[in-house]
Amino acid sequence: MILGDTCTRTCRFCAVRHGLPLPPDQTEPQRLADAVADLRLDYVVITSVTRDDLPDEGAEQFVRCIEAVRRRVPGIRVEVLPPDLHARADLIERICAAGIVVYNHNVETVRRLTPLVRSAANYDRSLGVFEIVGRAAPRVLRKSGIIIGLGETHDEIVETMRDLLKAGCQILTIGQYLQPGPENLPVAKYWTPQEFDEIGRQARQMGFAAVASGPLVRSSYRAGELYAEANGRVSGIGHRASSIEHRGSGGG
């Protein structure tokens, strides 16, 4: 997680402290790159707190970190998990152009519960992030996550999955909400492992290229494996479509 440990928003599901953060650390990109190299990673997820206090909302720090990691560890695959950045196309496009393989943005919950759960967030604005990524960098895979157990219904989960697919999301994680502290929202329901399996099955049938669904699943759960699975399926679909187009173009 970059850009400090203090968030400018007060989402009621999250335990990250909120307030006025410090300015971005100019040494952070290189320190992050060194840590990735020391850990001998070949896949890394870079996320952050929300920085509504900055003119660029932290986008340039994401870019500097991505570029530093890629210089330090050639061939590494980078996934990013930024906040919504107010769906500003210029910021999202800048991050996409830095050399990432997955752009992850969590919608977190269903439309009805978004005002209660996510401080200063907007459900449709989050969906708009995927549309921007799809236009700016169609080869970058789009990913989102939902936490359930906040009072949503099964039908609302399905509706959210449909909305994500329509917006261009390709990878989905679904996990159980656990109350991190007394000031956070209480758990409304503990979904069973069997229910998670069923939701995951539905998500795959609906068209997601890769899905992780389970009580302990989180945004970065087996991120490299989900990327590989989705990339193989998306690439395969693209290859088959190109082959069909090629065969069809020779007819007359």
Q: For 57-86, what is the mean pLDDT?
A: 98
Could you give the C-alpha distances from 247 to 234, 237, 241, in angstroms and in order? 20, 15, 10
155 residue type, one letter: D
List pLDDT tens digits, range 24-52.
999 999 999 999 999 999 999 999 999 99
For the cut 70, the answer to whether the pLDDT of residue 241 exceeds it is no
38 with 49: CB under 8 angstroms?
no
11 with 50: CB under 8 angstroms?
no
- Supply the CATH classification number for the domain 6-249: 3.20.20.70
Residue 214's pLDDT is: 98
**What distance in Å separates the CA atoms of residue 103 and residue 22, rounded to the nearest whole number?**
25
Helix axes 59-72, 89-96, angle to 10 degrees: 0
**What distance in Å separates the CA atoms of residue 88 and residue 108, rounded to the nearest whole number?**
19
Q: For 221-244, what is the mean pLDDT?
A: 78
State the chain's mean pLDDT as an integer: 93
Residue 31's pLDDT is: 98
Among 204, 197, 195, 120, residue whose Cα is nearest residue 161:
204
**What distance in Å separates the CA atoms of residue 174 and residue 193, rounded to the nearest whole number?**
11
Q: For 79-96, what is the mean pLDDT?
A: 98
List pLDDT tens digits, range 165-187.
999 999 999 999 999 999 999 99
pTM of the model: 0.92
Could you give the C-alpha distances from 183 to 15, 38, 132, in angstroms and in order? 9, 37, 34
| Domain boundaries along the sequence of the chain | 6-249
Q: For 138-151, what is the mean pLDDT?
A: 98
Q: Categorize the per-residue pLDDT at 236 as very low, low, confident or very high, splitting at 50, 70 and 90.
A: confident
Joined tokens for residue 197: 């399996």
